[in-house]
Amino acid sequence: MSGRALGGGMWRPTRCDGRTPPRAAWRLALFGAALIALGFPTTGVAAAEDAGATPAGGQTVAAATPAPTPKPLVETIEVHGETEEVATRDTTAFATVIRADDFADRVTSVSQLLRETVGVQMRDLGGEFATVSIRGSTAEQVTVYLDGVPLNRALGGGVNLADLPLAQIESIEVYRGFTPAALSGASIGGAILIHSRAAAGAGVRQSAGSIAYGSYGTGELVASVSGRSGRGSYALGADGARSQADFTFLDDNNTATTASDDAIVTRVNNDFTRAHLSGQGTLQASARTRLTFTTDLFRREQGVPGLGTAQSTSARLITSRGLFRIESETAGLAGGSLLLRAAGDYARQTEAFEDPYPGTIGLPQRTDNRIDSAAVEFGGIVAATPHQALSFLLADRRETADLANLELDPAGLGRAGRRTLVTTLEDQWSLSGDALVINPSLRHERYGTSFDPGPATGTIPEAFVSDGAHTTGKVGFRARLDERLSLKGNVGSFLRLPQFIELFGNRGSVLGNPLLQPERGDSADLGIVYERPRTKGTLRQARFEAIAFLTRADKLILFQTNPQNTVIALNSGRADVRGVELSLALALGARFTGSLNATLQQAVDRSGSFSDGYLLPGRPSEEMSAAAGLDLGRTRLTYNMTWVGKNYIDQTNTESRALPRRVVHDVAADIRLPRGLRGTIEIANIADDRIVDVARFPLPGRSVTGRLSWAF
């Protein structure tokens, strides 16, 4: 079937086994029986929070409180921006919200902020590339959204967080282990939602700009303006940055146990230049309907230096992204009991890689990949009773990838396509005056994948078509034990579809496997949350979480070596990931804030192969972060520490190759000056430790960055 036929919605008999497996069938039957036994309808999606739920788009549905004469819950359905203290889309899920005010006094990045978040692990290549893992997942098993649009590509690979400059970001939501049903895509690891800066308040026009410069020739310029007039509002932002990133590092000459051949060398071909534009506009089309328009344009050119022991001096990568989204929200329908949302988006991403001199063994490379994605969504929330909220989501996403190798003649490798239809239903009940919230949901996903080989390919000699469908589910609860202490938990199943590179490979040493099945995972978590409300005493605020989690993944897709010195993707992996997350946040008096996060986990290979029983590579067993802030009049001092335990990089946990434990300390000072000026200086890795990550990619030593910003 061609990509056009796929896009037209033609479904063919599947070659892959798309049926629900027996284990999933009895699990879903048991899940449905439990819903019936509890008296819940088997349709519905709820998105409520402590003071209200925030489904995608920012609308809020407040939880109902029983009264002697109950008033309809419909009176509490309103359209709001995400200004609540906690803006999570699932009140039973464990989530972290990072707001712009939390990092305004620092010179940092998205990847660094996530590194300091409980349950989150970062994989950093020491330049403009970093991916995220949650609760021992792979980067591909975490879905990243930008203003409601998923950035994960069917082509393959995790989302590069360096493609998300922090300058125009309003907030970041991190969902650990479970994805809210209000989102069109789910994954085994969880989801990260990035929100761009929104418009200023009514009648207010705000402008801001900043300039920053620091170590390794790093500089950044940022400008933004926002305002509101009549029924409309707008926010526009632009930023650009460049760096040589030519830090020094310890090159061990690939002999970790021999120090005599070690040397301090300079990182080469690690420079980058990037430009970024973003915009958001809203229009109150009527008393009940609001339209939101979002765009995001990004381009980066960078060197690709490779490993520290074998640096490349010629490899270059150019990445660009264009994203557009329109969304409408209509509240107060059906007598005030119904809120409807519709959205459409389009995104194009291009990647051009070139390495004319790859070394004595490799061949010259020039690839040019273009990925297009378009989607429509329709959803709604219904206040069925004063104690029950139902919601649903229908989403249709189509993605194509045109692949080319310009070193070949002809250059076309082929065109891959995928269409995904998603339906989610969620039902949330609030009982006993919100003392107990129960949140079951179902997600059904139907997909079709196709590949039309180009004249240059030889990997898949004939056109390929595959269809399939699967259903997953989740049940969560939150019980308030008293006004400060809550017990929360979730259990559910999720999966990840094979990516194009895994299915179809390319012309070279990587072979595709069209018979791959989706990765599957079952997850559960349980934890307590203690929250002390704001007071005027010494302890102004306190929050503590202790969570235990377990994930069992099956049919993991791994690349295995063949006798012909090629690698092929196979469903040969199983893994158990279990762990504990601890987090504490305090506000003492009028000046001091502090936090402490710790993640202890064991990600164990259960594949039954030679690596069975070993820890999965790239998943450190211990991570910790701490932060402290002190206000001294116009000056705020901050300290941040991240500690990462031993990290194995191979399947058999070779001690001599393991990444050693590391601790990194950062300090910053932020000074509020007259006339809207603000000065910030941050020193990262103040001990100047020589550290490495992933497969021994070197990370920068000590760096100093200063920023001067002006708001007017």
The two three-digit tokens of residue 639, written as one number: 């300290």
Of 432, 389, 488, 437, nearest to 61 (Cα)? 389
CA of 442: how far to CAs of 72, 422, 474, 520, 586, in Å? 26, 11, 7, 16, 37
Selection from 187, 188, 190, 176 nearest residue 119 by Cα:
176
- Residue 321 predicted with pLDDT over 50: yes
Residues 6+ apart with CB under 8 A from 666: 639, 640, 641, 682, 683, 684, 685, 686
pLDDT at 318 over 60: yes
pTM of this structure: 0.86
Q: Are strands 539-561 and 388-405 parallel, antiparallel or unpaired?
A: unpaired
- Rounded mean pLDDT of 387-396? 95
Non-local CB neighbours of 456 within 8 Å, separated by 6+ positions: 404, 405, 408, 409, 410, 411, 412, 413, 507
**463 near 1, Cβ under 8 Å?**
yes
- What is the pLDDT at residue 671? 97
How would residue 412 be classed by pLDDT, with cut points 50, 70 and 90? confident
Provide the β-strand partners of residue 125: none
pLDDT of residue 506: 61
Q: Is the pLDDT of residue 6 over 50?
A: no
User: For residue 615, what is the DSSP state?
Assistant: B
Residue 469 has pLDDT above 50, yes or no: yes
| Tens digits of residue pLDDT in 552-598 | 999 998 887 766 667 788 888 899 999 999 999 999 988 999 999 99
Where does residue 353 rank: exposed (0-12), middle (13-18), buried (19+ CB within 10 A)? middle
Which residues does 669 contact at the CB level (< 8 Å), separation at least 6? 635, 636, 637, 638, 680, 681
Lowest mean pLDDT among 11-25, 128-142, 260-274, 483-497: 11-25
Instruction: Give the closest residue to 237 by CA, choosing from 191, 174, 195, 284.
Output: 195
Q: How far apart are the first and last CA of the chain?
A: 57
pLDDT recorded at residue 695: 83
pLDDT in tens, 276-303: 999 999 999 999 999 999 999 999 999 9
CA separation, residue 449 to residues 18, 162, 454 (Å): 12, 29, 16
Q: Who's near 511: CB < 8 A, 6+ residues apart?
A: 459, 505, 562, 566, 567, 568, 569
Summary mean pLDDT of the chain: 84
Closest of 187, 131, 138 to residue 603, by C-alpha: 138
466 vs 63, which has greater pLDDT?
466
**pLDDT at site 505:** 74
Q: What is the pLDDT of residue 464?
A: 75
Bridging pattern class, strands 169-176 and 95-99: antiparallel
User: 507-523: buried (b, 16+ CB within 10 Å) or exposed (e) per residue?
Assistant: beebbbbbebbbbbbbb
Burial degree of 408 (CB within 10 A; 0-12, 13-18, 19+): middle
pLDDT range class, residue 69, cuts 50, 70, 90: very low
State the alpha helices, DSSP H only, in 339-462: none
Q: What is the pLDDT of residue 55?
A: 34
Q: Are 426 and 47 in contact (CB under 8 A)?
A: yes
> In this predicted model, what pLDDT tens digit does every residue of 173-192 receive, in sequence order?
999 999 999 999 888 899 99
How many secondary structure helices (H) and strands (E) does the chain include?
Answer: 5, 36
Q: How confident is the model at residue 462 (pLDDT cuts 50, 70, 90)?
A: low
* Size of the chain, expressed as the number of residues it contains: 712
Is the pLDDT score of 34 beyond 80? no
Residue 133 CA to residue 131 CA, distance in Å, equals 7
Residue 379 has a pLDDT of: 96
What pLDDT does residue 508 have? 58
CATH number for the domain harbouring residue 627? 2.40.170.20
Rounded Cα–Cα distance for residues 352 and 145 (Å): 23
| Share above pLDDT 70 across residues of the chain, in percent, rounded to a whole number | 84
Domain that holds residue 118: 3-711
Measured distance CA(191)–CA(144) in Å, rounded: 6
Tell me how far apart the alpha carbons of residues 429 and 435 are, in angstroms, rounded to a whole number.
11
pLDDT-derived band at 533 (thresholds 50, 70, 90) equals confident
| Radius of gyration for the chain, computed over Cα atoms and rounded to the nearest angstrom | 25
pLDDT at 509: 66
pLDDT at residue 186 in the model: 86
Please write down the HEC assignment for all residues of 543-603.
EEEEEEEEEEEEEEEEEEECCCCCEEEEEEEEEEEEEEEEEEEEEECCCEEEEEEEEEEEE
Mean pLDDT of 147-167: 91
pLDDT digits (tens, 9 = 90+) for 98-143: 999 999 999 999 999 999 999 999 999 888 899 999 999 999 999 9
Closest to 206 (Cα-Cα) out of 225, 223, 232: 225
Q: For residue 690, give both structure tokens.
A: 């020589």
Bigger pLDDT: 35 vs 687: 687
Q: How do residues 622-663 score in pLDDT, each as one tens digit?
A: 999 999 999 999 999 999 999 999 999 889 999 988 999 999
Domains in the chain, number: 1
Question: Is pLDDT above 70 for 10?
Answer: no
